[in-house]
């Protein structure tokens, strides 16, 4: 049985002296038996992460965690071109990115989410989009998908999980992605061991659901403990320490200049502060 649920939560976003009311997030939730499919549905904005969308993802994963009938979660994006383009830079410039209602994406990016997450990466995943992919346990990616951590090109840091990349691939390869900001193909990430399956875009969701169904058919307690023990073998992130380290960067003149330059389609003028 498939149940379709649209999570639309109204939030008030303060932009200077203007209050925008009723900014509805775009996150769809489908129940396919024991599998929950969570879809970022902002194709007109490259599925970028603004505060309402991050709130929607948080509420969806909170729902999945509390529902004992959900055995696995599939995370994907709407359309066939972009999984998630990362942080919405317009929202960043307006200062509304932090106006998140509920747990936000941290419910599965900043902790070990108890249930398996399969990323159905239907297209480009860069910046925060790549970090969402890294929060997934298994990845099925479209042949056309591109991945990257371009934060350094905007004077920012991939502090939402991107710096944990060395836990998933060899350090020199992680440093290449993190320090150059250059994109790589799904096939290349498959060679690095990060992507489980590389398939035509039309097969991304079906293959991800097939993996999810295989997992959901197993003992739920055994699955959850196996995941916890395997992930526990990796070093846990010190999020408080990370937050203290990156805060000056996100509040810097360079961070704002990087976003402005992107919006204005020009090279940034870095000042180093």
Instruction: Tell me which of 143, 151, 176, 203 is the catalytic residue.
Output: 151
Whether residue 131 lies in the annotated active site: yes
- Smallest CA-to-CA distance from 198 within 84, 86, 81, 120 is with 120
Helix (H, G, I), strand (E, B) or coil at 196: coil
Is the sign of the CA dihedral 39, 45, 51, 52 positive or negative?
negative
- DSSP-derived pairing of the beta strands 35-40 and 82-84: unpaired
What are the two backbone dihedrals, phi and then psi, of residue 230, each rounded to the nearest 5 degrees? -65, -45
C-alpha Rg value of the chain to the nearest Å: 18
Instruction: Tell me which of 65, 131, 176, 253 is the catalytic residue.
Output: 131
d(CA 94, CA 244): 22
**Angle at alpha carbon of residue 23, lines to 111 and 118, rounded to 5°:** 35
- Active-site residue numbers? 131, 151
């Amino acid at each position: 049985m498939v149940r379709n649920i649209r999570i639309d939560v109204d939030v008030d976003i303060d932009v200077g002296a203007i209050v925008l009311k009723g900014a509805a997030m775009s996150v769809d939730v489908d129940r396919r038996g024991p599998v929950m499919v969570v879809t970022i549905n902002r194709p007109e904005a490259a599925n970028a992460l603004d505060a309402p969308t991050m709130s929607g993802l948080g509420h969806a994963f909170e729902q999945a965690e509390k529902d004992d009938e959900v055995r696995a979660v599939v995370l994907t994006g709407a359309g066939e071109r972009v999984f998630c383009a990362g942080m919405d830079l317009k929202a960043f410039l307006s200062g509304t990115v932090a106006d998140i209602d509920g747990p936000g994406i941290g419910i599965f990016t900043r902790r070990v989410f108890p249930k398996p997450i399969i990323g159905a990466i239907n297209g480009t995943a860069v910046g925060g989009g790549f970090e969402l992919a890294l929060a997934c346990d298994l990845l099925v990616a479209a042949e056309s998908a591109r991945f990257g951590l371009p934060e350094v090109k905007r004077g920012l840091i991939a502090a939402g999980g991107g710096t944990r990349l060395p836990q998933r691939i060899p350090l020199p390869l992680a440093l290449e992605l993190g320090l150059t900001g250059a994109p790589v193909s799904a096939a290349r990430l498959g060679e690095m061991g990060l992507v489980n399956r590389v398939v035509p875009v039309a097969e991304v969701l079906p293959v991800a659901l097939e993996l999810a169904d295989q997992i959901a058919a197993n003992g739920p307690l055994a699955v959850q403990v196996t995941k916890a023990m395997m992930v526990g073998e990796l070093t846990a992130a010190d999020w408080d320490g990370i937050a203290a380290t990156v805060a000056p960067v996100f509040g810097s003149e360079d961070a704002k200049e990087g976003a402005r330059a992107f919006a204005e389609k020009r090279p940034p003028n870095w000042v180093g502060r």
